[in-house]
Amino acid sequence: MDARFSDEENAFRAEVRAFLQQAWTPELAARVDDDDSYPQAIGEWQRRLFERGWVAPGWPRQHGGCEWTPTQRYLYELERSAIGAPEVPPFGIKMVGPVIIQFGNAAQQARFLPRILRAQDWWCQGYSEPGAGSDLASLKTRAERAGDHYIVNGQKIWTTYAQHADWMFCLVRTDHAARRQDGISFLLIDMKTPGIRVQPIVSIDGVHSLNEVFFDNVRVPVDNLVGEQDRGWTYAKSLLAHERTAIAGVGDSKRRLRRLRQLAQRETCGGKPLAEDPILQARLADIEIELMALETMELRALFEASKGKGPGPESSLLKIKGSEVQQAIQAVMMELAGLYGAVLPGGLDAQAIGHDFGDEARRAYMYGRAATIYGGSNEVQKNITAKAVLGL
């Protein structure tokens, strides 16, 4: 048994680090951090990765991917998160891209994949509906065939960045089959089509990233159906498995824990650094130990993947523990910020209040609530584990 990386893997890691250090500039970081400039700046970041050939780690080479091994992908993620560079928006590269590659036709691949790689199209995900959250298969948005078009009517919700999106990959009901999962299709919808209305939802972090999307007799060419009609559930499920493989977020949590320790050194109470409080020390130790366990769980999953096994039921545990660790870190950061973390931006700048991380802490905490909800809520993950692993 050996948990170490090989010499080749370490060399790859050094190569990744060297590139990131040069490509991830403070100037770009500042623009990515700003909500207003984010869409443009993140696209620019994606194009830098594209030019290096590293934008689609999991895609096959013939479609412009790097065909990295699971271990290489993990090492890239470690280095990316260590330096604080963002993930590129997952909707194109991680989500719809693999589905088009696996189930789409040649024309769809030629039309969409090059534009996804270069961040020329923004994509959003049309899955959840007001009545279909964890129970996604109960979705009601319907698409009726009329000649060479589908006519789409209904509503999607929690659609991240729909306000920027050029395209949506969307689950729609095309048949009322006996098994609810059997009548669902996977459609690609141009967001500029008449009849689509996007309505913002401001989330508890004070940010507008979520939306409701309404469809009123939206005409979608039949050419935009991926795979076979009524088989979309299968395609979406394969995508969810992709989504879960990286969800533990070990690297990002490590960086945030380091940041937490720095803040605890800097912040004082009664003239002493908060870091000297034994109760805080114990909490940080608990978080770090959970993170160490998570890291090795992920490495073991990676090792199984390197033997050619797909993500198994252990991906549910990675999702559960990964999101719990993220929230534990966010909770401690919010406590370190104290009441200063409650101040909304506007009146005075953060320095004048005395703390410059209150806004960061509050937004991370509030947005972080989503981690135990999305991607199949943690309760759903427990249902899956009880059934698939424990045989209950």
Partner 1 sequence: MNFDLSEDDAALQDSVARWVQQRYPFDARRKLAAQAPGFSAAHWREMAELGWLALPFDEAHGGLGGGPLATALMLEQLGKGLVLEPYLPNLLLFGRLLQRAAAPHQALLPALIEGRLQGALAWQERHSRHELADVQTTLRPAGAGLVLDGEKVLVANGAAAEQLVVSARSAGGRFDTAGLSLVRIDATAPGVERTPLQLMDGQWVAHFRFRNVAVAPEQLLCAPGEGFALLQQTVHEAMLALCAEAFGVMQLLQASTLEYVKTRNQFGVTIGSFQALQHRLVDMYTALEQTRALLVRAVCSAEDRSADALRDLLALKVMVGKAGRLIGGEAVQMHGGMGMTDELVVGHGMKRLMVIDTSFGNAEVQRARFAALPA
Q: Does 300 bind partner 1 (CB under 8 A)?
A: yes
Virtual torsion, Cα 53, 59, 61, 66, nearest 10 deg: 40
Q: Is 243 part of the annotated catalytic residue set?
A: yes
Contacts of residue 205, defined as CB under 8 A and 6 or more positions apart, other chains included, come to: 362, 363, 366, 367
The window from 33-41, 43-51, 315-323, 359-367 that contacts partner 1 (CB under 8 A) reads 315-323
The secondary element (H helix, E strand) that includes residue 145 is: strand 142-146
Q: How far is Cα 337 from Cα 355, in angstroms, rounded to an integer?
A: 7
Tokens of 20: 């990131």
Residue closest to 377 by CA, chosen among 135, 59, 202, 83? 135
Residue 1: how many CB atoms within 10 A of its CB? 2
List the catalytic residue out of 79, 129, 243, 295. Answer: 243
Among 145, 286, 342, 345, binds partner 1 (CB under 8 A): 286
Q: How far is Cα 224 from Cα 104, in angstroms, rounded to an integer?
A: 9
Helix 250-266 vs helix 70-83: crossing angle, to nearest 10: 20
Q: Does 388 bind partner 1 (CB under 8 A)?
A: no
Interface pattern 58-97 for partner 1 (x via CB under 8 A): -------------x--------------------------
Nearer to partner 1, 218 or 257 (CB): 257
Among 239, 294, 328, 336, binds partner 1 (CB under 8 A): 294
Strand partners, 153: 142
Q: How far is Cα 123 from Cα 127, in angstroms, rounded to an integer?
A: 13
Among 204, 269, 292, 342, binds partner 1 (CB under 8 A): 292
State the minimum distance, in angstroms, from the CB of residue 258 to partner 1. Answer: 9
Is residue 233 within 8 A of residue 139, CB to CB? The reply is no
Interface pattern 246-285 for partner 1 (x via CB under 8 A): ---------------x----------------x--xx-xx
Burial 48-85 (b: 16+ CB within 10 A, else e): bbbeeebbbbbbeeebbbbebebbbbbbbbbbbbebeb
Nearer to partner 1, 198 or 299 (CB): 299
Q: How far is Cα 244 from Cα 377, in angstroms, rounded to an integer?
A: 11
Among 83, 151, 302, 331, binds partner 1 (CB under 8 A): 302
Q: Does 4 bind partner 1 (CB under 8 A)?
A: yes
Max CA pair span of the chain: 75
Interface pattern 185-214 for partner 1 (x via CB under 8 A): ------------------------------
164 phi/psi in degrees, rounded to 5: -100, -10
Among 320, 329, 332, 337, binds partner 1 (CB under 8 A): 320
State the minimum distance, in angstroms, from the CB of residue 282 to partner 1. Answer: 6
Nearer to partner 1, 138 or 262 (CB): 262
Number of chain positions touching partner 1 (CB under 8 A): 42
Interface pattern 215-234 for partner 1 (x via CB under 8 A): --------------------
- Residues with a catalytic annotation lie at 243
Residues forming the site for partner 1 (CB under 8 A): 1-6, 9, 71, 261, 278, 281-282, 284-286, 288-290, 292-297, 299-300, 302-303, 306, 314, 317, 320-321, 379, 382-383, 385-386, 389-392
